[in-house]
Amino acid sequence: MSRLGNLGARLYRGEVGYDFIGKRKIWYGISILITITAMVSLVVPGLNMGIEFKGGAVFTTSKTSVSVAQAQEAAERASGHDAIVQKLGNGTLRIQVSELDTQEANQVEKELAEDFKVDAETINAELVGPSWGKEIANKAWTGLGVFMILVVIYLAIAFEWRMAVAALVALIHDITITVGVYALVGFEVTPGTVIGLLTILGYSLYDTVVVFDSLKEGSKDITKQTRWTYSDVANRSINSTLVRSINTTVVALLPVAGLLFIGGGVLGAGMLNDISLSLFVGLAAGAYSSIFIATPLVADLKEREPQMKALKKRVLAKRAAAAAKGESAQDGTEGSDEDFGGVPGDAAPAGAVVGQRGRGRGRPSGRRR
């Protein structure tokens, strides 16, 4: 078995563990700082909206030897507006100029043909009105709102309302970071960007739901024992699914990275840039939020309940009594504790052996007889 696979098995069995929940204030602080940075970037410098949202014209040339700099200079001189020029993989140029009407677009097309010394018919011009972009934006906001409502309803039914709230906070966190990165790097916001943002919503929830499912199973009958608090169980749930989350995220990021750095950077495919950047940032942010935001937030909300407060008080009292006797609180053999099963506690140091996984009644111990 590989080292990573062996580590994953030990994490799942509860033999080792990292205290994610105990350090949640650090993760909250990091996320708040990143979110504030993303929100500031939305104001300064702001999003670079494409012509689909501002209106304008797109000119596509045939294969040409004209450089990007030369084409940009010619387009800005002919239109009097800023131009965005992209060299496509087949040697053609894509020139975008915002805020042009039909008459102005025709004039720019003629001047570009003269500057490039080609026939005007070889330049394809498409005029885009700003109303189309507004319609796309409105539909995107509607789709986002409907998705959020359905997610909250489903998670509240399948799990509980605290998990639904935590998942919603994580989704908002992921979207804010993704849009903020777009503003920072200056990528143009196009319909492809909107598609990418809507796509990452499902990916962002994937790891979160996996951890929540493990947490739901691990916290059954939790109040019937005195060895583990709810935060302990939440910590175990993160650790037991950690390697799986890392593996699935890396596997998903590799092809998206190929689209972003090879398809967009090398081949110069503009639409691939728009979709792949939002997917890349969204996938990474989703994996982060499921571990460092959603589950710790559930633990915070859950431990405000009177039952969980009482349980935590009993667990800490038992650990204090065991410590006074020089024993480990995890060495207890009460029937209810054994039924519940061992879970790494918050008090365990990172990477330390924190005890074997408990065995319930009727389950084999694994020893040879």
Pair 23, 66 in one domain:
no
Closest CA to 58 of 83, 91, 90, 87: 83
Pair 165, 220 in one domain:
yes
316 is a domain residue: no
pLDDT in tens, 190-208: 777 888 888 888 877 888 8
User: Cβ distance 240 to 12 under 8 Å?
Assistant: yes
The confidence score (pLDDT) of residue 35 equals 92
Distance CA 240, CA 13 (A): 7
44 to 48, 107, 357: CA distances (angstroms)? 11, 34, 52
pLDDT in tens, 212-243: 998 998 888 898 888 899 999 999 889 888 88
Pair 140, 186 in one domain:
yes
362 is a domain residue: no
Return the CATH number at 107: 3.30.70.3400
> Which residues of the chain carry a pLDDT beneath 70?
1-16, 89, 130, 133, 263-272, 327-369
The confidence score (pLDDT) of residue 348 equals 41
Q: How many CB atoms lie within 10 A of CB 368?
A: 4
**Pairing between strand 83-87 and 93-98?**
antiparallel
User: Cβ distance 1 to 9 under 8 Å?
Assistant: yes
User: Cβ distance 142 to 67 under 8 Å?
Assistant: no
The confidence score (pLDDT) of residue 15 equals 64
Q: How many CB atoms lie within 10 A of CB 161?
A: 12
Pair 44, 65 in one domain:
no
Pair 98, 142 in one domain:
no
Distance CA 171, CA 250 (A): 20
158 is a domain residue: yes
The confidence score (pLDDT) of residue 134 equals 75
Angle between helices 191-218 and 230-257 in degrees, nearest 10: 150
Q: Which of 281, 306, 331 is the last residue of a domain?
A: 306
70 is a domain residue: yes
User: Cβ distance 127 to 54 under 8 Å?
Assistant: no
User: Cβ distance 246 to 206 under 8 Å?
Assistant: no
Closest CA to 334 of 204, 218, 227, 191: 227
Q: Which of 256, 285, 306 is the last residue of a domain?
A: 306
- Number of independent structural domains in the chain: 2
Angle between helices 191-218 and 270-289 in degrees, nearest 10: 20
Pair 255, 153 in one domain:
yes
Pair 110, 137 in one domain:
no
pLDDT in tens, 297-350: 999 999 999 999 999 999 999 988 888 887 654 444 444 444 444 444 333 433
The confidence score (pLDDT) of residue 43 equals 85
What is the DSSP-derived secondary structure letter of residue 18?
Answer: -
Return the CATH number at 147: 1.20.1640.10
Pair 102, 166 in one domain:
no
The confidence score (pLDDT) of residue 302 equals 92
Distance CA 89, CA 267 (A): 5
261 is a domain residue: yes
> Alpha-carbon Rg of the chain, whole angstroms?
28
Sign (positive or negative) of CA dihedral 201, 206, 211, 215: positive
268 to 38, 73, 85, 302: CA distances (angstroms)? 26, 19, 11, 49
Q: Which of 128, 160, 180 is the last residue of a domain?
A: 128
Distance CA 290, CA 152 (A): 15
Pair 202, 283 in one domain:
yes
22 is a domain residue: yes
Q: What are phi and psi of 329, to 5 degrees?
A: -65, -15
Pair 60, 193 in one domain:
no
Coil, helix or strand for 57?
Answer: strand
341 is a domain residue: no
Pair 146, 203 in one domain:
yes
Q: Quick one: tokens of 348?
A: 């365990």
Provide the domain limits for residue 79: 56-128
287 is a domain residue: yes
Angle between helices 3-13 and 230-257 in degrees, nearest 10: 150
Pair 219, 110 in one domain:
no
